[in-house]
């Protein structure tokens, strides 16, 4: 296994490229199963989750080829519609092949998912939506066995789910008649999926609203698409600038996708400037201020950025309550931050109270999920002395060689075996 060895305390300055969002690339790859023509995705970064999804699609018979920036997927020779445990257990987003396989082939078996251990993460909303559309679904030997044919329906989500929205949209685009999805997720990655599907010939109306109207077509075609930039990677480097008092230009990044996070940075005197090239975050004169955070569905504060801000608030002036509304177990990084000197107490089931301290000190810590792990890396970059962040395979799921980008910004970080 590998760890990051980090000596903190250096301001991070320079330019870093922000590539396509992990949380968009994965559903876009699943959408390629809806056509026998090639789907070409640009602005790709080769995270381990993208490699896992490529393996899953290849195991179904799709051809997946890539150049440094581009993925080409062609699903013209699907040999099986069973998505094996081997893939789905590694990454929850693999479950999103359920909708496209069912819609195009009429039957599929998809292993129940694994992924980051940040909560129970049920799939009832996915299943209910497909059942409303006529699917016959049984759970057998750890697999969801879904059989069509599907029909158009009114699908109402009692709770907003990004994954269930992706999955239902992908099922509806090839289902005859007009399906209406009430209360879909509005995350930029959902909009990106809809944009690709429209390029493939799908009839989807109401994009960006609380009601999507989808009229099924008999066939979709290939398309070329540039993936929306990763707003969570953007938030990561913004917080890296903030906690080290640095100045980072993120090429390709978009401030409009990050407003809820930006609102928590500006009171600290951090200047965010959108240019044609990307987003600049200047924290050279920042004085970190405490500000309460509650995670919520988009456009609210993203749950994926909660651990990043937990680190920032650990170093801010004052006290702040952080409340996690999306997942029930998303404070696993907190005990490790406390070992680095942070003052954080539980405040009920879903909240922590953070009292800022002037500095953190280096320690050996362990990542237990993707974003929590990155929160620990940010803490180590700011801390006095040396830290070792263990189990960075969690971090590799969502960041493409994070250490290379940080080194280019002046960080003292090294990937070491242990
Ligand atoms: C969620 C985040 C997404 C983030 C991703 C990775 C939200 C709304 N979604 O997406 O922004 O990028 O994690 O960390 O912030 N749920 C059910 N039944 C289901 C599906 C979901 O009860 O069938 C619940 C989940 O347990 C959770 C909430 O709905 O409490 C939102 O889950 P969902 O949006 O589906 O999760 P992801 O798609 O993983």
Q: Please tell me the predicted confidence (pLDDT) of residue 91.
A: 85
Domains by residue range for the chain, with CATH: 2-18+229-417 (3.65.10.10), 22-226 (3.65.10.10)
Q: Assess whether 116 carries a catalytic annotation.
A: yes
Which amino acid residue places its CA nearest to atom 5 of ligand 1?
Answer: 304
* Structural contact between residues 10 and 409, judged by C-beta atoms closer than 8 angstroms: no
d(CA 255, CA 326): 23
123 CA closest ligand 1 atom index: 23
Cβ atoms of 281 and 234 within 8 Å: the answer is no
Residue closest via CA to ligand 1's atom 7 equals 297
Low-confidence ranges of the chain (pLDDT < 70): 114-120
What single-letter DSSP state applies at residue 11? P
| Mutate which of 113, 124, 163, 234 for ligand 1 pocket (most atoms within 8 A of beta carbon) | 163
Checking DSSP bridges between strand 386-390 and strand 412-417, what pairing results, if any?
unpaired
Q: How far is the CA of 165 from the centre of ligand 1 (A)?
A: 10
pLDDT tens-place string over residues 118-163: 455 789 999 999 999 999 999 988 899 999 999 999 999 999 999 9
**Ligand 1 center from residue 61 Cα (angstroms):** 29
Where does ligand 1 bind, in terms of residues with CB under 6 Å?
Answer: 23, 119-126, 159-164, 185, 187, 297, 302-304, 326-327
Nearest residue by C-alpha to atom 1 in ligand 1 = 162
Q: Which one is catalytic: 24, 29, 56, 116?
A: 116
Cα–Cα distance, 166 to 164 (Å, whole number): 5
Which residues sit opposite 248 in a β-bridge?
14, 281
Give me ligand 1 centre to Cα 94, in Å: 14
Distance CA 311, CA 213 (A): 41
C-alpha 326 to ligand 1 mean position (Å)? 7
Ligand 1: residue whose CA is nearest its atom 39: 163
Ligand 1 atom with least separation from CA of 185: 8
> How confident is the model over 61-75, as pLDDT tens digits?
999 999 889 999 999
Which numbered atom of ligand 1 lies nearest the CA of 119?
Answer: 26
Output the pLDDT for position 119.
54
């Amino acid at each position: 296994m590998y760890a990051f060895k980090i000596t903190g305390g250096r301001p991070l300055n320079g330019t870093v490229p922000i590539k396509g969002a992990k949380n968009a690339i994965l559903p876009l790859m699943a959408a390629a199963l809806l056509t026998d023509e090639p789907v070409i995705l640009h602005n790709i970064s080769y995270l381990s989750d993208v490699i896992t999804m490529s393996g899953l699609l290849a195991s179904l018979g799709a051809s997946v080829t890539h150049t440094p920036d581009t993925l080409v997927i062609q699903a013209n020779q699907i040999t099986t519609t069973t998505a094996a445990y081997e893939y789905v257990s590694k990454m929850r987003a693999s479950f999103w092949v359920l909708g496209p396989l069912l819609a195009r082939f009429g039957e599929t078996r998809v292993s129940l998912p694994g992924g980051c251990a940040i909560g129970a993460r049920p799939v009832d909303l996915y299943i209910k939506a497909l059942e409303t559309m006529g699917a016959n679904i049984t759970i057998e030997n750890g697999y969801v066995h879904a059989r069509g044919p599907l029909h158009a329906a009114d699908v109402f989500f009692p709770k907003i789910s990004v994954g269930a929205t992706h999955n239902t949209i992908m099922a509806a685009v090839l289902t005859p008649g007009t399906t209406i999805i009430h209360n879909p997720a509005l995350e930029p990655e959902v909009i990106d999926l809809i944009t690709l599907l429209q390029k493939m010939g799908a009839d989807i109306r109401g994009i960006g609203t609380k009601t999507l109207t989808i009229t099924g077509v008999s066939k979709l075609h290939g398309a070329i698409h540039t993936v929306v930039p990763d707003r969570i990677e953007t938030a990561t480097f913004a917080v890296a600038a903030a906690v080290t008092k640095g100045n980072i230009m993120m090429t390709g990044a978009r401030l409009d996708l990050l407003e809820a996070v930006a609102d928590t940075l500006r009171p600290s005197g951090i200047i965010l400037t959108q240019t044609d090239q990307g987003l600049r975050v200047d924290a050279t004169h920042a004085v970190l201020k405490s500000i309460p955070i509650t995670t919520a569905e988009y456009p609210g504060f993203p749950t994926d950025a909660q651990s990043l801000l937990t680190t920032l608030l650990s170093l801010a002036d004052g006290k702040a309550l952080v409340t996690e509304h999306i997942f029930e177990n998303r404070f696993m990084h907190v005990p490790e931050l406390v070992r680095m000197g942070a003052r954080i107490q539980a405040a009920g089931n879903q909240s922590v109270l953070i009292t800022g301290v002037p500095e953190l000190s280096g320690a050996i810590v362990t990542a237990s999920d993707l974003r929590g792990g990155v929160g620990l890396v940010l803490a180590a970059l700011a801390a006095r002395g040396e830290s070792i962040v263990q189990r960075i395979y969690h971090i590799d799921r969502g960041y493409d060689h994070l250490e290379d980008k940080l080194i280019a910004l002046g960080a003292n970080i090294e990937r070491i075996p242990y």
